[in-house]
Amino acid sequence: MKRRKGSSDSLLTKAGGELDDRFKLAGPARVLFNKVFPDHWSFLLGEIALFSFILLLLSGTFLALFFDPSMVEVTYDGAYVPLQGVDMSRAYESTLHLSFEVRGGLFMRQMHHWAALLFMASILVHMLRIFFTGAFRAPRETNWMIGIVMFWLGFFEGFFGYSLPDDGLSGTGLRIMEGMTASIPFIGPWASAALFGGQFPGTTVIPMLYIIHVFIFPLLLLALITVHVALVFIQKHTQWPGPGRTEHNVVGFRMFPNYVMKQVGFMLFIFGVLAAMAGLFQINPIWLFGPYEVSVVSSASQPDFYVMYLDGLIRLFPSWELRIPPYFTLPPVFWPGIVGMGLSVMLPLLYPALERRFTKDRGHHNLLQRPRDNPGRTSLGMMVVVFWIIGVISGGNDVFAEKFHISLNAMTWAGRIGLVVLPIITYYVTYRICLGLQQHDREVLAHGLETGILMRDPNGRFYEVHQPLAEPDEHGHTELEYNGWVVPKKMNRVGALPPQDKGFFKSIEEPSENGASSHEEIESGKH
Amino acid sequence: MAASAKRRRGWRKRLGALARFTGALVIVGGIYSVFSPSLYAQEAEDNAIDSEVVKGQELYDTSCISCHGDDGEGIEGRGPSLIGVGSAAVEFQVNTGRMPMAAQGAQAPASDYPVFTEEEAEWLGAYIEYLGGGSAVPDDLAALVENSDVAEGGELYRVNCSSCHGYAGGGGALSSGAHAPALTGVSDEEIYQAMLTGPQNMPVFADNELTPEQKADIIAYVQYVVNGDKDPGGVFSLGRYGPSTEGLAIFLVGMTALLLTTLWIAGKS
Amino acid sequence: MSAHNDSARDEVEPVDLSDPKLTRFEVYKEGLRRDDIEIIHYEPRFPKPGTKTEKRMERIVSGLFLLSGLFATLFVVAYIWWPWEYEGAATWQDPQTWYTPVLGFTLGFSLLFFAVGVLTWAKKLLPVEELVQDRHDGGSSTDDRKIAESTVDTIVEDMGLRRRPFLVKTALLAAAPLGLAAVAPLGALIKDPGDMYTVTGWNADKYNDGNPVGIMMKDGALVRPDMVSAGGQITVYPAIDHGATNQFPTAPVLLIHLREEDAEILRGNLYPMYQDVDALWGNFVAYSKICTHVGCPASLYEQQSQRLLCPCHQSQFNVVDNAAPVFGPATRHLPILPITVNDEGFFEAKSDFLVPPGPAFWNRPSLPEEDEK
């Protein structure tokens, strides 16, 4: 503690004084600098989404300088030989121009696309963490709902962005969207005509999607992200239960310097991963797809992965069409496409309220739950995860069929049956696993850890020596009560001892120069 | 399908085959030859059955006859008639290792180790051509491809080929276990032969549908895009499968790297 | 550590900030106290400054920063001087194909090195610390609530919301149409779908002055029967202005020349409505290429199994049975375009499709005849 030198140097003091004279910052800044954040790897998942969003804004701005969202028909005469002389829309042409004739344009386009995928992937993973640990419970239901809304904004933001180049693959996606829109009872055909300015594909949809993609949705996302982060800040982050941690405190480190340095480092790391992926992994090679033409399609036509489960459900849904002769038809795509999407929005949105209703738990919860401690919720969540994964796999079932030489029809049937059966099995299995883990925790708390030492009693029976976790009380009992903490399961985890030997290439365990080993320092620091 | 219909079909096939067979032998240089220039070549060979045909027949009788029947008439349920398919079809099937087929299945798989040499394939082709004419690859294919229009080929490829073989030529799944093969590493001749003869489930693109020049355009496009051009967008093309492998990559590469990083950042030091 | 609880903090006495003997750290701790924060554990990472291990860690971090700078420089250099322009088909030996990978590699590693540098600094050089802060969960204090309540009541009273109900009602009454007026301009988007789903480019009256619409290939060439050999298929369009463009999204048709035996089966299966108009010509059949599920081109024609597959959702149609769906989510057959050959020997459409092609839509009429065998 004495390492820090003297007081702040005069220049900083002076600048601070000038600022405070004008903005009265000393008090609020102190509160900000000193705010305590809990530390856990799973609390960093939302940050991945936040920082990919920032990169999306940056790279998207670059792309907007060169992209022209126009469906005017032009003849390509750019650098890419196999498309020279081909008629296409200006949107597609400018995307090709951006990819082949703008210095670093392809790199930026790929970075934008990878960042979009990472944005959606990290939202999903973040959402799973929140769900399985019960972090959405009161008082944080609002933030959960904002998160769900942001997921769906991101979903459409991504889909619209993927549609903008007006290439063969994304046009097929729009075509499917048109089919889904037209299936909505009563308003379907009118909604489709409004969306496409008449008959699909028309000439107005790309400009419309463009303004949504670059202005309306980013603005909404930005606003919601601000509220989302502000609420985390105001309500203070949840924490895992553990020694000294209660519902009424936060245990961790300060915002400055520790938290902010880690955040900055993590942000740069995410940017770095995305930049490396953008350079090394080719994504969405639109020049191979050609301009969108209604009579052209490719095998293995998939949407981006976050839309794929919906596409999978559409593939798996049986050919059930409701006809109300002679005037009305309810096409099969309505159920997975419109109803399925509606449920995917509403169920997660309402889940906190539903859980409150069923558990009648109205209290505030600032300590997280280990997934095993709420087997019902965990199993329900795993059910949804399995359902989603089957949907995603089915969304790419033709690629699977082709790559692994499985019959396409067999893939479809496997998906149909799996979609019904596997979630149920998953529920049961997850529930049993949760109970088993709970039981083991309590066994260890009651009898102690397995030591691996075998003893023989006078009767000749072998038994294993257990190391109790607590000192015996006056009755000689060593049972501990379970209180949501992680229970050590191995001898060297008792007291969360660090690994015995440190260093990656060579041991750095040699005695430090001030005489005390690093272990002792830490031990002595605790009281 | 009713058994009688099946029988009727078989009978019809055999009768048709016979008619075409005699037609090819007797009315040489007739109206038929106007549509099929390759028959001019056969005209000369008809007089003296040359040694290639004989050698081809020997091979046929040992390796093909069990499924395709005597004189290539086909056996219902085992192998189609080969009369009129032409030498291009035979050479395509044999040189790509698809024929002879190891076992009946949804589709004959290609093999890197064809049973016959290219020379033997030519003999077989000559024999089948002798049986019923058919189409052949033009001799000046290389020149055609040389003078072709890649962009034109691209347009034709997208209208006619990409629906099964994919925009990037990666192949694709068809119904009930059949699939359209990937176009990576195929030769000009193989593409031409496949278009010309429509092997297995592939539709025929004879010279009426796509002129030899148009076929050459398509070949040039395929060779440019699938086999010629290195992906400009990176070291890894992710198989050019599009969003499915891209989705996999964001989880397996991006997400995994970042999850490990979170473990490191939040780990006790 | 478990001894710590919320009450522990109360024992910390406030300090007198005017005391000149206070150290910097004591002043700092007073700030923590005011924010309800207590230090559980706080000590420098390296108790003795300037040890070998500390120096080593510093060297590592600065090394990472320098590497980052080096890679950033490489990025800028590559961005400017590496050949980048696309020059036609290229192999991995051509430098311009490496432009994007080089950019990604240099920028990526520059960012990663800087990130690892910052993170190492935070993890290995910052003091080891653990603090506990009061959460103050739940609502405001009773006093605050009471004051807020009174404030709101005063506002309501001042405006007279309770005393002047008529004002409130008229305001609400006016607000409803005003809200409507705000969204009304969106009505500019509304268009009557009209006949866009039911009339295609094959409609002679609408697009060809009542003359039968010819059949052309994409390049505009009119189609003759000899242009499609048995077992072959081509994609054809109405021979009208822009007939092959996206202006006619439901017009593309797959013209298939069936083998004799397959055509025979199809003729046996043909729906009455197609028999009535004699929809086939010889062994030629023209199916709408637009899938009846959601509209992708169902164009994977398997000439042996006689199936048409749609690559988007794997609907499969039986070519020798009116292209009726046999697998997947599609519910309707692909409509047949009735065709014939005119005096000049070219194909032409006898009429538009008998049933609307393309995906179903809500007000699609369900005609009984299309289900008849």
Per the prediction, chain A carries an average pLDDT of: 89
Interface check for B230 against chain A (CB to CB < 8 A): the answer is no
Answer yes or no: do A325 and C111 touch at CB < 8 A.
no
Token pair, residue C248, equals 């006619």
Asked if the Cβ–Cβ distance from B204 to C231 is below 8 Å, we say: yes
Q: Distance between CA A455 and CA A446 in Å, rounded? A: 20
Residue A481 token pair: 């009560």
B228: nearest CA in chain A?
Answer: A82
- For residue C196, being part of any structural domain is answered with no
% residues pLDDT > 90 (chain B): 19
Q: Among A30-39, A111-120, B86-95, B189-198, which range has the highest average pLDDT? A: A111-120
Minimal Cα–Cα distance from B14 to chain C, Å?
A: 12
Distance (Å) from the C-alpha of residue C179 to the closest C-alpha of chain B? Answer: 42
Are C181 and C227 part of one and the same domain? no
CB-CB contact of A287 with C44 (8 Å): no
Chain C touching partners, 3 or more CB pairs below 8 A: A, B
Beta-ladder partners of A254: A36
Q: What share of chain C is helix, strand, coil (3-state, %, to 5)?
A: 40, 15, 45
Pick the last residue of a domain from C155, C188, C221. Answer: C188
Same domain, C20 and C73: yes
* DSSP state at residue B175: G
Please tell me the predicted confidence (pLDDT) of residue A345: 96
Q: Do the beta carbons of residue C340 and residue A168 sit within 8 Å?
A: no
CB of C359 closer than 8 Å to CB of C325: no
Q: Which residue in chain C is spatially nearest to B155 when comparing CA positions?
A: C218
Tell me the ipTM for this assembly: 0.93
Sign of torsion over alpha carbons C153, C159, C163, C166:
negative
User: Are both C4 and C123 inside the same structural domain?
Assistant: yes
Hey, are the CB atoms on A402 and B240 less than 8 Å from each other? no
- Chain A segment 272-311 residues within 8 A of B by beta carbon are 273-274, 277, 279-285, 288-290, 293, 295-306, 308
Give the pLDDT confidence of B150-195 residue by residue, as tens digits. 999 999 999 999 999 999 888 888 887 888 888 988 889 889 888 8
Tell me whether residue C165 is exposed, middle or buried, using C-beta atoms within 10 angstroms of its C-beta: 0 to 12, 13 to 18, 19 or more. Answer: exposed
CATH number at residue B8: 1.10.760
Same domain as B202, residue B95: no
Q: Which residue intervals of chain C are DSSP H helices? A: 6-10, 24-34, 52-81, 99-120, 142-159, 165-183, 204-207, 260-269, 272-277
User: Using DSSP, how many helices (H) and how many strands (E) does chain C show?
Assistant: 9, 12
Asked if B73 and B192 sit in the same domain, the reply is: no
**What residue in C sits closest to B222 (Cα-Cα)?**
C89
Q: Which amino acid is it at C171?
A: A
Do B259 and B177 fall into the same domain? Answer: no
Across the interface, whether the CB atoms of C97 and B208 are under 8 A apart is answered: no
- The CB-side HSE value for A518 (13 A sphere, CA atoms) comes to 20
Domain shared by C224 and C92, yes or no? no
- Of A508 and A399, the structure prediction assigns the larger pLDDT to A399
Tell me what pLDDT residue A372 has: 95
Count of the separate structural domains present in chain C: 3
Whether residue C120 is found in the same domain as residue C23 = yes
Same-domain pairing of C271 and C179: no
Task: Tell me if A201 sits within 8 A of C249, measured CB to CB.
Answer: yes
Asked if the C-beta of C23 comes within 8 angstroms of chain A's C-beta atoms, the answer is no
Query: Are residue B59 and residue B109 in the same domain, yes or no?
Result: yes
Does residue B119 share a domain with residue B86?
yes
Task: Give me the pLDDT at residue B84, please.
Answer: 66
Cβ B206–C232 below 8 Å, yes or no?
yes
- Chain C residues whose beta carbon lies within 8 Å of the beta carbon of residue B208: 226-229, 232
| Domain containing residue B23 | 3-132
Q: Is residue C195 part of a domain?
A: no
Claim to verify: residue B151 and residue B126 sit in the same structural domain: no
Residue B22: its pLDDT value, please? 58
Contact yes or no for A331 and C312 at CB 8 A: no
Phi then psi for residue A296, to 5 deg, are: -115, 135
Token readout for C271 is 């729906």
Give me the residue from A273, A295, A498 closest to B257, CB to CB.
A273
Of B64 and A41, the structure prediction assigns the larger pLDDT to A41
DSSP assignment of C306-370: TEEE-TTT--EEETTTTTEEEESS--SPPPBPPEEE-TTS-EEESSS-SS--SS--TT----GGG
Q: Residue C236 is inside which H or E element, if any? A: strand C232-238
Q: Which residues of A touch B243 (CB under 8 A)?
A: 284, 302-305, 308, 396
The predicted model scores a pTM of: 0.89
User: Residue C228 sits in which domain range?
Assistant: 204-371
Q: Would the pLDDT of B265 be above 90?
A: yes
Q: What three-state secondary structure class fits A503?
A: coil
- C130/C152 same-domain check: no
Rounded Cα gap, residues A399 and A388, in angstroms: 18
Of C89, C230, C305, the CB nearest to B201: C305
| Any A CB within 8 A of C14 CB | no
> CA B191 to CA C373: how far, in whole Å?
40
Please tell me the predicted confidence (pLDDT) of residue C368: 60
Residues 128-157 of chain B whose Cβ lies under 8 A from any Cβ of chain A: 149-155
Q: Which of A237, A251, A288 to mutate to test the interface with B (most CBs of B within 10 A)?
A: A288
Strands (E) in B103-188, as ranges, are 172-173, 179-180
Low-confidence ranges of chain C (pLDDT < 50): 1-9, 372-373
Verify whether the Cβ–Cβ distance A275 to C25 is below 8 Å: no
B233 falls within a domain: no
Would you say B242 and B169 are in contact if contact means Cβ atoms under 8 Å apart?
A: no
Q: Do C118 and A244 touch (CB under 8 A)?
A: no
Q: Please state, in angstroms and rounded to a whole number, the distance separating the CA atoms of residues A179 and A195.
A: 12
What pLDDT shows up at residue C99?
A: 94
Measured in angstroms, the CA of A438 and the nearest CA of chain C are apart by: 23
Query: Looking at beta carbons, which residues of chain B come within 8 Å of A270?
Result: 258
How many C-beta atoms lie closer than 10 Å to residue C269's C-beta?
14
Q: Mean pLDDT throughout B113-122?
A: 78
DSSP label at B89? H
- Whether B209 sits inside 8 A of C99 (CB atoms) is no
Q: With an 8 Å Cβ cutoff, are C101 and B174 in contact?
A: no
Hey, are the CB atoms on C329 and A317 less than 8 Å from each other?
A: yes
pLDDT tens readout for residues A233-262: 999 999 999 888 999 999 999 998 999 999
Domain boundary among B71, B102, B132: B132
The interface residues of chain A toward chain B in range 28-57, judged by CB-CB distance below 8 A, are 39-45, 48
B165 labeled part of a ligand binding site: yes
| Residue C197 within any structural domain of the chain | no
Query: Is residue A464 within a helix (H) or strand (E), and if so which, with residue range?
Result: strand A462-467
B68 is in an annotated binding site: yes
Residues of B in contact with C262 (CB under 8 A): none
In a mutational test of the C interface, the residue from B157, B196, B201 whose CB has the highest number of chain C CBs within 10 Å is B201
> Is B97 in the same domain as B212?
no
Compute the distance between CA of residue C359 and CA of residue C373 in angstroms, rounded to an integer. 21
C25 and C65, same domain (yes or no) = yes
What was the pLDDT predicted at B14?
63
Our CA-based measurement puts residue A477 at a distance from the nearest CA of chain B, in whole angstroms, of 33
Name the DSSP class of C222. Answer: B
Is A159 in contact with A304 (CB distance < 8 Å)? yes
Give me the pLDDT at residue B204, please: 84
The DSSP element (H or E) to which C43 belongs, if any, is: strand C37-43
Distance (Å, whole) CA A162 – CA A184: 24
End position of a domain, from candidates C96, C118, C138:
C138
Most confident range (mean pLDDT) of A404-408, B41-45, B90-94, B172-176 is A404-408
**Is beta strand A322-324 parallel, antiparallel or unpaired with respect to A328-330?**
antiparallel
pLDDT at residue number B132:
67
Six-digit token pair at B52? 């290639």
3-state secondary structure of C128: strand
Identify whether the C-beta of residue B183 lies closer than 8 Å to the C-beta of residue B191. yes
Determine the residue of chain A that is closest to C330 in CA distance.
Answer: A319
Q: List A residues 182-221 in contact with C (Cβ-Cβ < 8 A).
A: 182-190, 192-195, 197-201
Q: What's the rounded Cα separation, in Å, for the pair C64 and A272?
A: 14
Q: Which residue has the tokens 């008439």?
A: B73
Question: Which residue from B176, B249, B262 is facing A281, i.e. has the nearest CB?
Answer: B249
Cα-trace Rg, chain A: 29
On the question of pLDDT at A369 being above 60, the answer is yes
Residues 104-123 of B with CB under 8 A from A: 106
Look at B110 and C172; give whichever has higher pLDDT: C172
Residue A172 has pLDDT above 90, yes or no: yes
Tell if the CB–CB gap between B170 and A392 is shorter than 8 Å: no
Size of the A and C interface in Cβ pairs below 8 Å: 361
Chain B partners (3+ C-beta pairs within 8 A): A, C
The pLDDT-based confidence of B121 (bands split at 50, 70, 90) is confident
Q: Pick the closest to residue A96 from A87, A85, A107, A105 (CA basis).
A: A105
Same domain (yes/no): C213, C266: yes
Question: How many structural domains comprise chain B?
Answer: 3
- Neighboring chain B residues of C304 at a CB cutoff of 8 Å: 80, 200-201
* Minimum Cα–Cα distance from A246: chain C residue: C5
Give domain status of residue C239, yes or no.
yes
Put simply, the answer to whether A275 touches C104 (Cβ < 8 Å) is: yes
The first and second tokens of residue C336, run together, are 């047949």
B71 and B178 assigned to the same domain: no
A497 touches chain B (CB under 8 A): no
CA–CA dist A516, B8 (Å, integer): 98
- Largest Cα separation within chain C, whole Å, is 113
Taking an 8 Å cut-off on Cβ atoms, the answer to whether B178 and C300 are in contact is no
Whether the pLDDT of residue B81 is over 80: the answer is no
B94 and B10 in one domain? yes
The torsion angles phi and psi of A454, rounded to 5 degrees, stand at -95, 135
Query: What confidence score (pLDDT) does residue B229 get?
Result: 79
Q: What is the structure's pLDDT at B231?
A: 85
User: How many other CB atoms are found less than 10 A from the CB of residue C7?
Assistant: 7
Is C43 a member of any domain?
yes
Q: What are phi and psi of C45, to 5 degrees?
A: -60, -40
Measure CB to CB from residue A290 to each of B158, B170, B243 and give the nearest one.
Answer: B158
Q: Kindly report, residue by residue over A274-288, the tens digit of the pLDDT.
A: 999 999 999 999 999
Q: Exposed (0-12), middle (13-18) or buried (19+): which is B55, by Cβ within 10 Å?
A: middle
CA C60 – CA C73 distance, rounded (Å): 20
Q: Is B179 annotated as a binding residue?
A: no
